[in-house]
């Protein structure tokens, strides 16, 4: 759920995870932007650890048992052809605070392909969420997603004139879960998700060192009478502080049903992330 890119103080680097994710991208404001079309990552990504410092309801397994204590995640990607075709994987682990915070209780695996063309980005991926400490429910799906992205310093001259020191990056898109036997349409594990609507915003508050970000993700239910009406909203608001390739963030997430009452999963978390990018040798 929670991830982002890399800022390299020595040069411009294209942002990791081009399809968009809830955490803000690392970006630079100087350098030759045209180089980004030719930069290729041999291996890039990040490692993160997050403590759910307040968690009344966010479950530690796909069957909604337990309460998350810690999250550990690795994101890895490699550019197969410039920014147009990238392979990636996310490996996401949770522990249960009710079992002492240490024992891992859920493993979410994601494998996919992504790319960007001008303002547009796309991705297709397979995700499998499974319990680790016991047998039980496995949630799995495959989907496709298309986003349209804008950056204020490139697309909005009026913003640049009005807020020259505060870059805004935003995207919105829609996805289709074309394979889904067990991935639910609400936090209480009812329905089956069909469509996904996403949106994201990053606001640079201070020299790309302090960034405010917000994200929403909505699902629809393929078993409902209206399959395009959202049945779940997941939203995140956070503040990220950067130093070189490190980032500390504080954020709040809430996942809630939209078409009926029911379970609301929510938490506050503090997160540390380290990002890296090993470039391919220039030809």
| Domains along the sequence of the chain with CATH | 33-279 (2.40.160.40)
Alpha-carbon distances, residue 89 vs 2, 17, 74, 77, 131 (angstroms): 13, 10, 8, 6, 19
The pLDDT mean for the chain works out to 88
Q: Tokens representing 100?
A: 């002492």
Per-residue model confidence (pLDDT) at position 40: 86
Q: Residue 261: beta bridge partners? A: none
What share of the chain in percent tops pLDDT 70?
A: 86
At residue 30, the pLDDT reads 45
- pLDDT tens figures, 20-66: 445 556 554 444 444 555 578 899 999 999 999 999 999 999 999 99
pLDDT digits 0-9 by tens, 58-115: 999 999 999 999 999 999 999 999 889 999 999 999 999 999 999 999 999 999 999 9
């Amino acid at each position: 759920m929670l991830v982002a890119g890399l800022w390299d103080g020595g040069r411009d680097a294209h942002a990791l995870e081009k399809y968009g994710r809830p955490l803000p991208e690392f970006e630079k404001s100087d350098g030759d932007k045209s180089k980004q079309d030719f930069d290729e990552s041999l291996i890039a990504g990040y490692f993160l650890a997050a403590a759910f410092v307040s968690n009344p309801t966010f479950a530690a397994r796909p069957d909604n048992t337990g309460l998350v204590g810690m999250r550990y995640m690795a994101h890895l990607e490699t550019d197969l052809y410039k920014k147009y075709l990238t392979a990636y994987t996310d490996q996401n682990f949770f522990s249960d605070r009710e079992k002492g915070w240490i024992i891992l209780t859920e493993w979410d695996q994601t494998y996919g392909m992504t790319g960007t063309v001008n303002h547009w980005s796309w991705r297709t991926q397979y995700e499998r969420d499974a319990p680790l400490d016991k047998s039980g429910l496995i949630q799995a799906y495959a989907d496709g997603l298309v986003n349209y992205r804008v950056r204020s310093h490139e697309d909005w001259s009026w913003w640049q004139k009005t807020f020259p020191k505060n870059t805004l990056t935003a995207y919105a898109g829609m996805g289709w879960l074309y394979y889904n036997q067990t991935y639910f349409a609400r936090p209480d594990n009812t329905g089956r998700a069909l469509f996904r609507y996403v949106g994201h915003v990053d606001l640079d508050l201070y020299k790309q060192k302090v960034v405010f970000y917000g994200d929403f993700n909505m699902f629809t239910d393929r078993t409902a009478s209206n399959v395009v009406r959202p049945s779940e909203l997941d939203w995140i608001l956070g503040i990220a502080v950067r130093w070189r390739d490190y980032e500390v963030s504080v954020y709040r997430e809430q996942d809630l049903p939209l078409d009926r009452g029911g379970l609301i999963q929510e938490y506050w978390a503090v997160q540390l992330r380290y990002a890296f990018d090993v470039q391919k040798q220039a030809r």
